Structure 1
Amino acid sequence: MSHVFPDGREYPIAFASRSLTPSEQKYPQIEKEALGLVWALKKFFHYVYGREFILHTDHKPLTHIFNPQGEIPPMSATRLMHYSVFLLGFNYQIRFRKTGDHANADFCSRYPVSDRKDYRDESEIFQCSQLGRLPISRKDIAEETRKDPESKSMFEAIVEGRLKSNIHEYSIQDGCIFRGNRVFIPPSLRKEILSELHDGHLGVQKMKNLARSYVYWENIDADIAQLTKQCPACIRFAKAPNKIVHHWLPPEDSWQRIHVDHAGPFHGKYFLLIVDAYSKWIEVFIVPNLTTTSNLPYFREAFGRFGHPYVLVSDNHGCFASQEFAAFLAEMGSSMSSHPLSILHRTDRWR
Structure 2
Amino acid sequence: MPGEKFIIKLADNATPFCVSTPRKIPFAYTDKLKIELTLLETQGIIKNTIEHSDWCAPIVITPKKNTNKIRILLSIGYVLMQLHSDGTWKTVQAGSRHLSDTETRYAVIELELLGVEWAAQKCYNFLEGLPKWIKGKEKLRADALSRHPHEPPNTSDELAEQPIVNGDHVDEAPTISAIRSVADSPKDDQTRLFQVWKSSNTENQYQELKRLIINGFPESKKDLPDHLKKYWCVHPDLSVDQDLIVYGCRLLIPTSLCQTIMQKFHHGHPGIRRAQDRARMIVYWPGIDTDIEACINDCQFCQDHLSMNSKEQLIQKLKPSRPFQEIAADLHTLTVKTT
Q: Do the two structures share a fold, i.e. TM-score over 0.5?
A: no
Q: Which has the higher contact order (CA 8 A, sep 6+)?
A: 2
TM-score, length-scaled by structure 1: 0.40
Q: Which structure: greater helix fraction?
A: 1
TM-score, length-scaled by structure 2: 0.41
Determine which structure has more spread, i.e. the larger CA radius of gyration.
Answer: 1
